[in-house]
Amino acid sequence: MCLAMPVRISQLLPDDMAVVDMDGVSREVSVALIDTPQEGDYVILHVGYAIGKLDAEEAARTLALMDQLAASQSEATP
Amino acid sequence: MKYVDEFRRGDIARGMAAHIHTLVQPDRQYRLMEFCGGHTHAIARYGLTGLLPDNIRLIHGPGCPVCVLPIGRVDSAIELALRPDVILCSYGDTLRVPASNKMSLYQARAKGADVRMVYSTSDALQIARDNPHKQVVFFAIGFETTTPPTALALIQARQEKLANFSVFCNHVLTPPAMRHLLAAGDAVQLDGFIGPSHVSTVIGSAPYAAVAAEFAKPVVIAGFEPLDVLQSVAMLVEQINAGRTEVETQFTRAVTAQGNAKARSLVAQTMTLRDSFEWRGLGQVPHSALAIHPDFAEFDAELRFALAYRHVPDHKACECGAILRGQKRPQDCKVFAIVCNPDNPLGSCMVSSEGACAAHYHYGRFVEGQPA
Ligand code: SF4
């Protein structure tokens, strides 16, 4: 039950609510726990609440680093 | 799904695993505890143990909120649910946790108790609005991720003057549990922690610094996808090799040192630290859980219904306690997958998909020679 997932805010609604897109399915969730939610933001969703934002640049950096490490391994062991 | 699928790529996983093989020193043991059930689930589901060198051992920790809930707390919830004036609301997994006398909340429901499964605290508030002549109690469990939604529900209940709503608060805290495990000394030998990611989204990475420093163990805050776990293992191996014992964050895409200040302040307004709280497997752990703040006492189900806590020992055959302490593995339990299975769990670790026994039952047990 602790699992949470990244979802994209597709529309902000009144009362700190928002519509999020989960793999093509939309759902209404609360964004009351985060500061300045924006349409297009990715957030971590848990039990119906966005609990934090996801930083797209950091995600890209993490992936690039792993990609690099993995690539250097396949060069080292052909 | 974006930010999920990219972190599950098999080609990168194999490259990361090869990288870890080059990092490990052959004469060293690396005993890493994955604190969260989310990691346990990912490790079992993607067979990560099989990709790692033999001298890296992954050990399950107590980070599954359903698993660590002691029987006495579930008994209290059942006692509440059986009252004719009460509607008890709970997240799904807790309904199946076995309690005393072969009872569970599901069984209570079969006996006529009004038990409702909710997906969020706002569902529980809605049930309270819709049923003004009933007492609606939210059975709140979970770590620091699940706590802020409970805090918001309390604030909203007060704003709306919802006199028939209360919270049975069982929220627990991760850093004190980590500290408790390490303080137990020789009970379990650990070289580092794969640290909680979603919890850290809320509380930040900073709260682990004191634990890492005091016990000289590295902690890497790790995301829940398989590549996240592999990268975190690599980061831990590097720290251990270099003799460093720091808190590092792998899940930088959502975790900062300070976490979510708004969420933390809502929790601080509505809840207060308990002196001590019983965890399944760990016993009484000081300052490891939250109660409703005295300012919100009118919404505290423990006060409203004068609930008294009673310790109840676990089923004799069940090894959940030792598993939650990192001392045993699911396959070490005599009744694993025989008497105890996900359809008919004997212990809590078989209930939630993040429980060590359920994860091993679903994904691990057919992999030859592979420890969970
Ligand atoms: S297999 Fe069942 S009884 Fe054994 S430790 Fe796991 S949950 Fe407990």
Of B151, B149, B371, the C-alpha closest to A1 is: B149
Is B363:B44 a contact under the CB 8 Å cutoff?
yes
Tokens 């592999």 identify what position?
B230
Categorize the per-residue pLDDT at B371 as very low, low, confident or very high, splitting at 50, 70 and 90.
very low
Is B35:B67 a contact under the CB 8 Å cutoff?
no
Judge residue A25's burial from the number of C-beta atoms within 10 Å of its C-beta, 0-12 exposed, 13-18 middle, 19 or more buried: exposed
Answer yes or no: is the C-beta of B229 below 6 A from any ligand 1 atom. no
Say how far apart CA B366 and CA B112 lie, in whole Å: 40
What pLDDT shows up at residue B1? 82
Residues in contact with B234: Cβ distance below 8 Å, sequence separation at least 6, in sequence order: A69, B16, B19, B20, B23
Of B115, B154, B79, the C-alpha closest to B308 is: B79
What pLDDT shows up at residue A28? 94
Q: Is the model's pLDDT at B108 over the cut of 90?
A: yes
Total CB pairs under 8 A between chain A and B: 149
What pLDDT shows up at residue B2? 86
* B221 C-alpha to ligand 1 centroid (Å): 28
Task: Quote the pTM value.
Answer: 0.92
Q: Is the model's pLDDT at B184 over the cut of 90?
A: no
State the sign of the Cα–Cα–Cα–Cα dihedral B66, B109, B82, B302.
Answer: positive
Residues from chain B that touch A61, judged by Cβ atoms under 8 A, are 252
Residues from chain A that touch B19, judged by Cβ atoms under 8 A, are 69-70, 72-73
Kind plus residue range of the DSSP H or E element containing B269: helix B261-270
Say how far apart CA B135 and CA B141 lie, in whole Å: 19
Say how far apart CA B189 and CA B59 lie, in whole Å: 10
> Which two structure tokens, joined as six digits, stand for B3?
């930010």
Distances (CA, A) of B248 to A1, A12, B42, B166: 25, 34, 20, 39
Answer yes or no: is the C-beta of B67 below 6 A from any ligand 1 atom. no
pLDDT, tens digit, for every residue of B217-260? Answer: 999 999 999 999 999 999 999 999 999 999 999 999 999 999 99
What pLDDT shows up at residue B286? 95
Average pLDDT (B166-171) is 98
Answer yes or no: is the C-beta of B36 below 6 A from any ligand 1 atom. no
Average pLDDT (B127-138) is 98
Judge residue B102's burial from the number of C-beta atoms within 10 Å of its C-beta, 0-12 exposed, 13-18 middle, 19 or more buried: exposed
Answer yes or no: is the C-beta of B97 below 6 A from any ligand 1 atom. no
Residues from chain A that touch B231, judged by Cβ atoms under 8 A, are 62, 65-66
What pLDDT shows up at residue B264? 97
Is B367:B50 a contact under the CB 8 Å cutoff?
yes
What is chain A's Cα-based Rg? 16
Q: Is the model's pLDDT at B369 over the cut of 70?
A: no
* B169 C-alpha to ligand 1 centroid (Å): 26
**ipTM value for the complex:** 0.91
Of B69-78, B260-269, B284-293, B351-360, the one with minimum mean pLDDT is: B351-360
Is B370:B364 a contact under the CB 8 Å cutoff?
yes
Q: Is the model's pLDDT at A78 over the cut of 50?
A: no
pLDDT, tens digit, for every residue of B300-321? Answer: 999 999 999 999 998 889 999 9
Q: Is the model's pLDDT at B137 over the cut of 60?
A: yes
DSSP string, B130-175: H-TTSEEEEEEEESTTTHHHHHHHHHHHHHHT-TTEEEEEEEB-HH
Q: Is the model's pLDDT at B20 over the cut of 90?
A: yes
DSSP string, A31-50: -TTSSS--TT-EEEEETTEE
Categorize the per-residue pLDDT at B186 as very low, low, confident or very high, splitting at 50, 70 and 90.
low
Tokens 């990288």 identify what position?
B19
What pLDDT shows up at residue B368? 42
pLDDT, tens digit, for every residue of A9-31? Answer: 999 999 999 999 887 889 999 99
Residues from chain B that touch A23, judged by Cβ atoms under 8 A, are 1
Tokens 């090869």 identify what position?
B18
Query: Which residue type sits at B302?
Result: E
User: Which of A61, A66, A77 is the best substitution to test chain B (most B C-beta atoms within 10 A)?
Assistant: A66
Average pLDDT (B122-131) is 98
Nearest CA in chain A to B64: A2
A 3-62: CB under 8 A from B:
3-6, 8, 22-23, 30, 32-35, 42, 44, 46-49, 51-56, 58-59, 61-62
Answer yes or no: is the C-beta of B357 below 6 A from any ligand 1 atom. yes
Nearest CA in chain A to B264: A33
